[in-house]
Amino acid sequence: MQNKSLLLLLLALLIGFNPVKVNAQRKSKKDRVEAISNAEIVTNKNIATTPKLVVGIVVDQMRYDYLTRFWNQYGDGGFKRLVNDGFNCKNNHFNYAPTVTGAGHASVYAGTTPSVHGIIANDWYDKYADESVYCAGDPSYNSVGTSSDAGKMSPHRMQTTTITDQVRLHTQMRGKVIAVAIKDRGAVLPGGHTANAAYWFDGGAEGNWITSSYYMDELPKWVTEFNAQKSVAKYKKPWTTLKDINSYIESGADNNNYEGLFEGQSTPTFPHDLVGLWDNNGKYSILKSTPYGNSLTADFALEAVDKESLGTDNFTDFLAISFSSTDYVGHKWGVNSKEVEDTYLRLDQDLKRLFDTLDKKVGTGEYTVFLTADHAAINVPAFLRDQNLPAGVVESKKLNDRLTEYLKYTYGTTDIVKKTSNNQLFLDYRVIKSLDLDIDDVEEELALELIQYDGIYKVFTANQMWQNQYTSGIPYFVQNGFNQKRSGDVLMVFDPGSGNYGKTGSTHGSPWNYDTHAPLLFYGKGIKKGSTVNRTEIPDIAPTIAALMGMNAPSGTTGEPIEEVIE
């Protein structure tokens, strides 16, 4: 009976077995797995874009209107490529003061302001150490590639992570970060705390690219070979205009009283005989104040792309480039000079060279670029005054002499003010306490005194910065630049168009529009084509790249992703 039942059961199973149906079921299951996998791929694509290489470009001292002023002189492969095929944030601003190089580079890459990342200037007075410090200086490390102290640098004064640090963390340290600039701070701060390397240019008699023992004990072979080739020597030549100087109608006269001179020059005019001026102007260091400094930066950056194999694997790499020579040229000749115009036309060619090489080595559409500045600049006040525009020079000696007399008369001593740095007064708390004075009262009394001085627009106290939360206007800019541990006790803001300016060239540092309005262009993988006139701010850059890549933004981020930019 049991055998019969078992036989019937087996027969039923055989009758029910259908190979076609089973194969169909298997195929259906395979299709479902593939469909699920494809869905995951689509979902992942929507979550994050993974460029092979991110290229961050900071053009030192670039005003937004350099895009529009020189537009008709640019070729198609540099600035125009970024604008026409990328995304242009037309109303982009720094949202703090002082607007200077160190703070600017830190803010771009940290996604926040000096109030958080701590780089409040290029140099500042350390009130706890009672000494002046440099934003990238670090005597605990040694120079690599030079016998001078030019390599004793590190990012240790920056208190937050950077977008470059986040790329390293996001890729389990597999993605490389290389930072390159003429200026040390233009490489060290963008490279962040975890960069594989940061390189900067040491001029003088050698003209080498160097680094710090913070990154490595010796230069890589390719850097040593690059230095040994003396390829920078090809730039020891006269600086002539790229195009006919008569076509440079977007700038002022070549010979005027508003421009500086190289040592040994009698007029600030083209051509600039670099060969004849070489020895009296620091030898290779003179290249920093010419467009050739940007070209040699591009040369070295492209060598880094090749020798470090950037953008050639599945882990996103980051190349941080700062073109520093635009700042040196602007400071010497001014924003309205033919030298500045020529420098940007030549930079446009260097950008084309960079992008063309990345197309070949990384792949068209496989890399993402942003381009911005670390600050903008003002026309020299002497020029503005001659055009009947409001501008002036605040003479530091007169200001200090008047303040000294006030301190003596009011308190019987000048020791109340321990240091003046970056238009800020640092008070000596011990002296104030010994005089049985209240610090808040002294701050306010000094503010009331200083606001009477010519050229001073507003004065703020540390107590105001501590007690209030400003959301707009000049107080907002000042507070974003105010770091409780590092900033002073009384903070001065000069009138629009006024400041501690020289008689020639351009400078920067204020919270006014001419110093804050800087370009912001995005291009490449994951970036929409278009533009916006909505206000964007410098701290928005890092979180935008982080959102694009689907990773954490830097630790102190206060900016917001720019939604319009990302596909």
Residues with a known catalytic role: 101
- Sign of the CA dihedral 256, 258, 259, 260? positive
CA dihedral 164, 169, 174, 179 (to 10 degrees): 20
| Separation in Å, CA 338 to CA 200, 243, 389 | 27, 11, 21
Q: Where are the alpha helices (DSSP H) in 129-234?
A: 163-170, 185-191, 221-228
Distance CA 153, CA 374 (A): 20
Distance CA 305, CA 84 (A): 25
Point out the annotated binding site for substrate: 122, 183-185
DSSP letter, residue 531? E
Cα atoms in the Cβ-side hemisphere of radius 13 Å centred on 147: 2
By three-state DSSP, how is residue 417 classified?
Answer: strand
Maximum separation of any 2 CA atoms in the chain, in Å = 123
**Which residues are registered as beta bridge partners of 537?**
93
- Other C-beta atoms closer than 10 Å to the C-beta of 398 total 12
DSSP letter, residue 384? H
**Phi/psi of residue 421, nearest 5 degrees:** -150, 130
Q: Hey, what amino acid is at 553?
A: A
DSSP letter, residue 345? H
Q: Which distant-in-sequence residues (6+ apart) come within 8 Å of 407 by Cβ?
A: 413, 414, 416, 417
Pairing mode, strands 177-181 and 197-202: parallel
**Phi/psi of residue 28, nearest 5 degrees:** -60, -45
Cβ–Cβ under 8 Å, residues 282 and 319? no
DSSP letter, residue 50? -
**Which residues are registered as beta bridge partners of 210?**
200
Q: Which distant-in-sequence residues (6+ apart) come within 8 Å of 358 by Cβ?
A: 53, 55, 305, 311, 367
Radius of gyration of the chain (CA): 29
CA dihedral 156, 162, 167, 170 (to 10 degrees): 90
